[in-house]
Copies of this chain bind each other. A is one copy, B any other.
């Protein structure tokens, strides 16, 4: 799908409000007010509020696959080095699109809309497939051990990152980091998450239980 400038403007505003107040907690009038547009424009451009949400998922999902594959197919790198690149790329992506990930965390709990569920499943499947390919590569050349539970490994990685994003304010308070500037806190999260995820994944891929 290709979206016009006007559609992208609506998508971005809706994304912000859906992340802040939830899908049902945001009215079309809220979106219209924040974007200085008429309330009929959402229906006009997207058909309905529900389809606007689907558009957000399509828009964010579109670019995912290519970047991941380009990392996995890089030559001259060990599988473990690619893993580290993937982790940092994932952290970068989730930090850059926090609003979208907040929406996805909230929507995946529900099971109401088939189109949304399908879009989420498609996103997860892309990630799983690409990671699986890389792990098999590492197993075949002896870098990684056999018997790696890849879905659980993904759960650990995605779950940890999502939890950090969606409960930032609690993490900040419980870690006594209120004094940090927003930017410094942002950097802290990225580096701490990177260090720990790399360590954990490395351990899962190489150490015996």
Contacts and interface: CB of A to CB of B under 8 A. Distances in A.
B152 A156 contact: no
Nearest to A176: B151
A109 B156 CA distance: 19
Interface in A104-130: 105-106, 108-112, 117, 120-121, 124-125, 128
A93 B99 CA distance: 30
A167 B193 CA distance: 21
A166 B22 contact: no
Given A22-B24, A200-B200, A209-B195, A163 B163 contact: yes
A170 B121 contact: yes
A169 B117 CA distance: 10
Interface string A1-30: 000000000000000000111111100000
Interface of A: 19-25, 102, 105-106, 108-112, 117, 120-121, 124-125, 128, 149, 151-152, 154-156, 158-164, 166-167, 169-171, 173-175, 192-193, 195-196, 199-200, 203-204, 207, 209
A110 B110 CA distance: 16
B110 A170 contact: no
A111 to B, nearest CB: 7
A111 B160 CA distance: 20
A121 to B, nearest CB: 6
A161 B156 CA distance: 8
A59 B143 CA distance: 49
A163 B174 contact: no
A159 B166 CA distance: 10
15 contacts: A19-B109, A20-B111, A24-B24, A24-B25, A25-B110, A25-B112, A106-B106, A121-B173, A151-B174, A151-B175, A155-B163, A155-B164, A156-B160, A160-B160, A163-B163
